[in-house]
Structure 1
Amino acid sequence: MSEFQPKPSLEARAADDSRHGPFVYRDELGARLALAADEPKTVRTRLRLMGAVAALLEEGGLHDLRVADCAARAGLAHGTFYRYWPDRSAAARDVLGDFMATVRARRPVSAPGTALYPRIVAANRYYVRVYRANAGLMRCLMQLGNVEAEFARIGQEANLALAARVVRAWERADPALDLPPHERIARALACIAMVEGVLRDLYVRPALAPLASMGEDEVADMLSTAWFRILFGRDPPRRGRKAG
């Protein structure tokens, strides 16, 4: 497995209480630290440093990250940082990888039998809220992907895996679907890319003035309608009406 492969850390697994829903990553790390009171000091120190790195990435971006600032923010000696990472880039990869894993782990879980469109809406509402609450980290993910080919590959593989799940749900909702497999995946990837592009321009580098006054749920519902049209070629069902 790649050293960059985002996966729940030991601390994340220890703090996991099966919660789902939007979160602020810095607060998530703070909650893990609070739950780690009985863990070894090395675990708690690493969480303190992760919290400091996450806060600095959120506030200043990847390129302004400095080891001295990370140690100072965590209230630790400068040399303590190097017990956990060889340099700032390794720390950023570790923290951003954990952030990506947390985004996946906190996705909402739909009740069995939930129709596809409400599931799309719930997923997009979750992602819009997480994106907006952690916009600085989302910017850092893009920055790291631009300079680290391996990290970019991980993001691409994650999107491909998500697209495959979308296609499987789409096929269950429409057993008579008459599209070749490559077009099904392409449409799902187009939906994912659309969401990423809109949220990037809305929350990371604001360029969509017409959307500035829209609330999070409005943005998510608009994107979900577009998803449904891309997949099914028609408007989504109205509320209260059963459909795939």
Structure 2
Amino acid sequence: MKDKKSKPAAVPATKPAGGPILRYADYLQHEITHAPKRTKGERTKEALKLGAIRVLDDVGYHAMRVSDLCEVAEVGSATFYLYFENKADITLQVLSDYLAHGVDMLPERVAGTSIFETICASNLRWLEIGRANAGLLRCVLQLGDEEPGFRDLIHRSNRAWYERIALSISRRTPDGTISEDAALLAAYCLGAMMDEMARKLIVYPDPHLLDLISRTTPTDAQIAEFFAVLWHRSLYGGTPIKGTLAPAARSVADLHL
């Protein structure tokens, strides 16, 4: 664990005016701060869970100790065991919450925007959230490999998100040109692409990919735009994408086979 000068600071977060909260620890702190009045026991449990999130994000699951998260939470170690069995128990709970509520951090569709603009905005926020929570993403991958129950939770969380995407697709094709199952399968395929790109861009950076990104889409906005073109072409075929695009995105958007 880092020394006291570099440990995660338990500073209350405030929601930026007109801006999103990207780091889940700050999102959780904001929710706790603005929650209705709770009992002392509820506040203690929330402090422990927030401490676990901060330490997991900082050092990861394997390096985390109960004493570390208690220090960040400013709660005695003996008190910890009144609420959780061990570090695996609290980790599964807080990462389960992260998977369940992470979608709340994504933007809602803005009236008047095109479907391409909506996809692009969602992809950009997804990248920003991923970068802000790289440590938690790494923990999710680690626990998914080691804990079958948590792996099942990841599958359920992904399915809920893919079903939301598939519903959006189906609403845009009311004539029945795509079945619900086909739309859901498309969402699974495109979502898997995004998960693998997150792994290679953020969690376990691939130097070859990073070099390619630096030459083609050097900003997150351009990466999100490129992903959006792939989504749009996959789901809506040759429907033209209007407006100015970066060169890499435009070359794919205008591709004719």
Residue aligning to 2:248: none
Residue aligning to 2:50: 51
Letter in 1 for 2:169: W
Q: CA deviation at 1:161?
A: 2.4
CA offsets 1:69-122 (integer angstroms, 9 cap, x no match): 211222222111111110101100111112222212232221456542222122
TM-score of the superposed pair, with normalisation by structure 1:
0.81
Residue aligning to 1:8: none
Is residue 121 from structure 1 mapped to residue 120 from structure 2 by the alignment? yes
Alignment of 1:54-203 (within 5 A): 54-111=53-110, 114-176=113-175, 178-179=177-178, 181-203=180-202
| C-alpha distance in 2 between matches for 1:34 and 1:184 | 39
| Aligned residues of 2:45 and 2:83 also touching (Cα < 8 A) | yes
Percent identical across equivalent pairs? 27
Q: What SS is found at the alignment partner of 1:193?
A: helix
Q: CA deviation at 1:206?
A: 0.7
Gaps of 5+ in 2: 1-13, 245-257
Residue aligning to 2:6: none
Q: CA deviation at 1:179?
A: 4.5
Q: CA deviation at 1:36?
A: 5.7
| C-alpha distance in 1 between matches for 2:171 and 2:97 | 32
Is residue 220 from structure 1 mapped to residue 219 from structure 2 by the alignment? no
Q: Choose 1 or 2 for highest CA Rg.
A: 2
CA offsets 1:163-215 (integer angstroms, 9 cap, x no match): 22222222222345644554332221111111111111111111022225722
Q: CA deviation at 1:22?
A: 4.4
CA offsets 1:211-237 (integer angstroms, 9 cap, x no match): 257222222111111111221233652
Compute the RMSD of aligned alpha carbons.
2.7
- Pick 1 or 2: higher relative contact order, CA cutoff 8 A, min separation 6: 1
Q: CA deviation at 1:64?
A: 1.6
Q: Structure 1 residues 84, 115: closer, same or farther in 2, change over 3 A?
A: same
Q: CA deviation at 1:33?
A: 4.2
| C-alpha distance in 2 between matches for 1:38 and 1:233 | 51
Gaps of 5+ in 1: 1-14
Is residue 206 from structure 1 mapped to residue 210 from structure 2 by the alignment? no
Equivalent residues, number:
224
| Aligned residues of 1:21 and 1:126 also touching (Cα < 8 A) | no
